[in-house]
Amino acid sequence: MPKILRVLLWVTISLLGALALATIALHRGEEINAMWLVVAAIATYAIGYRFYSKFIAVKLLLLDPMRATPAERLENGRDFVPTNKWVVFGHHFAAIAGPGPLVGPVLAAQFGYLPGTLWIIVGAVLGGCVQDFVILLFSVRRDGKSLTEMAKAEIGKIGGFVSYIAVIAIITILVGAVALIVVNALKRSPWGTFTIAMTMPIAILMGVYLRRIRPGKVLETSVFGFLLVLAAIFGGEWVAHSPSWAAAFTLTAPTLAALIIVYGFAASALPVWLLLAPRDYLSTFVKLGTISLLALGIVALRPTLHMPPLTRFVNGTGPVFAGTVFPFAFITIACGAISGFHALISSGTTPKLIRRETETRLVGYGGMVAESLVAVMAMIAASVLQPGVYFAVNSPAGIVGQAPDAAAATISNWGFPVTATEMSSLAHAVGEQTLFNRTGGAPAFAIGMAHIFSRSLGGEAVMAIWYHFAIMFEALFILTIVDAGTRVGRFMLQEALGHIWKPIGRTSWYPSILVTSAMMVAAWGFFLWQGVKDPLGGINSLWPLFGICNQLLAAVALCVATTIVVKMGRVRYIMVTLVPLFWLVAVTFTAAYEKVLNPNPRIGFLAHARQLVSSGASERLIFNDQLDAAVASVLVVLVGVVVIESALEWVRVLSGRKTAEVKETPYVMTRLALEEQG
């Protein structure tokens, strides 16, 4: 394309993006179309990818297409395999896309669509994409080493230890929080519970088909499994209308929590994993399909956003979770803008597949762009709901009351009109008994998705099917996170405890598997149970705690990245990683301070504990708050130590007291370029 045309194209994209951002930021008192959010996001991502990631690639990282990657040098056909960049992109995206970018924006919509959307877009372009990109490249240059190993090598033993603790903490709290989301979505819902229960026998059938009838034909098996799941959704409707079956599948939150705890233990400790493994494939299949479908639905329908850009709850009095827009919007959005967990994927499987260094830009930066777009779609799904409906679904009974009329009156008094009759009709339309107090984000997202889907395909008559399809989609891949998280946590515990007592480090020794699985399940089960028993819905305390852990891990990743940048002698461009690091430190440390010490009992764990003491509540509830406060404090202190340790290393290197020495594998020229040239 001639240069003048390229310039014109990018000027047009920039102007369009600026117009869209101005529209979403400056419109007040009028509803806007969701496409403004989509255009603002896509234009910003395009500019970020074309110019900023190019700048990072050329100026900061000095990507070298002639340098052999570990996939080429260590190729073994198993872990290290040079793979087409688009295939790695798809693989990486499938690995990083989880419930976080769906749930976080839905919860943050309580502030209105504006703060969350701006942070998703800006945070991704300047923070999340940068983190994923640089960590991926640094791992590629270190034979695919993990974040923990890089932290240990570049910052020191403390860095390695803290990232290890942060990973264990994040997995524990993540699994507890997402399990709570499933509980809140399925409680008193025979339709949803039946559908999810059916995924177990379906997985076993898939396993038999995959192993006995068509070995290795995973895609075909996943299509077959998907059709069975669709049949289960239709079967769920019949179950919900059958008095005896409905009673059998109408479960309370504690019963569901207990079942999930048993499931997590069984999936980690008992030899059932191979039977359930096909569910992993099914979950990925449904996830990718549904995300694509949602994107098509939004573009086809171009829905109007009913949520205002800003709500009164920016002042911290929100019913979904308590806390002011800063820092809590940023903690809540989590994975949609920047996620420490991505640094684990970027330094896990992905670097071992990268064929050329230059491809890390598409996979690392581009993969996070796609994840961020998913978060924008989740924000749209939440914002197409009438605000009254959104708050009725997401507000806990402890805030708005249990009785529908009282809850509707409270929410209407906040300025978001809704009636009990309206909620009852909506519940009927989606095949539920009630939609009040369904905290956790998943049901609100499912209603938004059902709203979009039903208006594009099938009309209002099939809204219940779409709603339960969305619930199934969320619960299915959340449950795979529960079992995968438990197994990974168990494995990490075995490795760590193996330093104390060797036999427990033997990962296939059955007593060790049983003990460490029980420890892992007890840890996340504790948080899940605490959430189920919390009158404020649990999400109020668990999701911010998860967000803090996740963002603290991102801070550790950016400390590692900045240290390597300093040692590479690229200090001139240090702001690329330092600015997001400063921001994350400011956000996470403020949020942790607020969650621990804020005098408002809805925000501060310790203030809540004091309130419970004065009201004569049980010791157990008081202990829960104290433990949450301790977890947040310990993590902040540990990450504070890593930040200080890193800063001291930068000073030592920059002042010349220490020789700058990066721990990269030696340079080897690639064969691939020569082979490609023939």
Partner 1 sequence: MKLITILRRAILLLGSVLREIFDETAYERFLARHHSSAGTASYADFCREQQQAKVQRPRCC
Nearest distance from residue 257's CB to partner 1, in Å? 19
Instruction: Categorise residue 618: left if φ over 0, alpha if ψ from -120 to 50, beta otherwise.
Output: beta
CB of 264 or CB of 387, closer to partner 1: 264
SS3 359: helix
Nearest distance from residue 210's CB to partner 1, in Å? 8
Residue 273 touching partner 1 (CB under 8 A): yes
Nearest distance from residue 100's CB to partner 1, in Å? 4
Nearest distance from residue 513's CB to partner 1, in Å? 10
SS3 317: coil
Interacting span for partner 1 (CB under 8 A) from 15-23, 136-144, 487-495, 607-615: 487-495
Residue 219 touching partner 1 (CB under 8 A): yes
Residue 507 touching partner 1 (CB under 8 A): yes
- The Cα–Cα gap between 129 and 554 comes to 12
CB of 102 or CB of 140, closer to partner 1: 102
Total interface residues for partner 1 by CB under 8 A: 61
Tokens of 314: 């920016």
SS3 113: helix
Residue 90 touching partner 1 (CB under 8 A): yes
- The letter for the amino acid at 231 is A
CA distances from 636 to 121, 163, 183 (A): 26, 12, 29
Single residue of 114, 121, 232, 334 touching partner 1 by CB under 8 A: 334
- The Cα–Cα gap between 669 and 677 comes to 15
CB of 327 or CB of 348, closer to partner 1: 348
Sign of CA dihedral 441, 445, 447, 448: positive
Is residue 667 a contact partner of residue 67, using CB atoms and an 8 Å limit? Answer: yes
Interacting span for partner 1 (CB under 8 A) from 274-282, 383-391, 516-524, 599-607: 274-282
Nearest distance from residue 83's CB to partner 1, in Å? 7
Single residue of 108, 167, 298, 558 touching partner 1 by CB under 8 A: 167
CB of 76 or CB of 413, closer to partner 1: 76
Count CA atoms within 13 Å of residue 222 on its CB side: 17
Nearest distance from residue 115's CB to partner 1, in Å? 21
Nearest distance from residue 522's CB to partner 1, in Å? 19
Is residue 89 a contact partner of residue 363, using CB atoms and an 8 Å limit? Answer: yes
Is residue 312 a contact partner of residue 40, using CB atoms and an 8 Å limit? Answer: no
Sign of CA dihedral 233, 239, 240, 241: positive
Residue 344 touching partner 1 (CB under 8 A): yes
CB of 97 or CB of 329, closer to partner 1: 97
Helix, strand, coil percent content, the chain, rounded in steps of 5 = 75, 0, 20
Single residue of 97, 260, 446, 542 touching partner 1 by CB under 8 A: 97
Tokens of 45: 């991502």
Interacting span for partner 1 (CB under 8 A) from 319-327, 337-345, 444-452, 594-602: 337-345
- C-alpha closest to that of 390 among 443, 354, 432: 443
> Which residue shows structure tokens 């905290």?
439
Query: Mask of contacts with partner 1, 348-387, x by CB under 8 A?
Result: xx--------------------------------------
Interacting span for partner 1 (CB under 8 A) from 49-57, 228-236, 276-284, 603-611: 276-284
Give the burial class of 73: count Cβ atoms within 10 A of its Cβ; 0-12 exposed, 13-18 middle, 19 or more buried.
middle
Interacting span for partner 1 (CB under 8 A) from 171-179, 293-301, 427-435, 449-457: 171-179
What is the per-residue DSSP string for 368-405?
Answer: HHHHHHHHHHHHHHHHTS-HHHHHHHHS-HHHH-SSHH
- Bridge partners, 356 (sequence order): 68
SS3 374: helix
CB of 411 or CB of 442, closer to partner 1: 442
Which parts of this chain interact with partner 1 (CB under 8 A)? 76-79, 81, 83-84, 86-91, 94-100, 167, 170-171, 174, 178, 210-212, 215-219, 222, 273-274, 277, 280-281, 284-285, 288, 334-335, 339, 341-342, 344-345, 348-349, 480-481, 484-485, 487-488, 491, 507, 546, 550
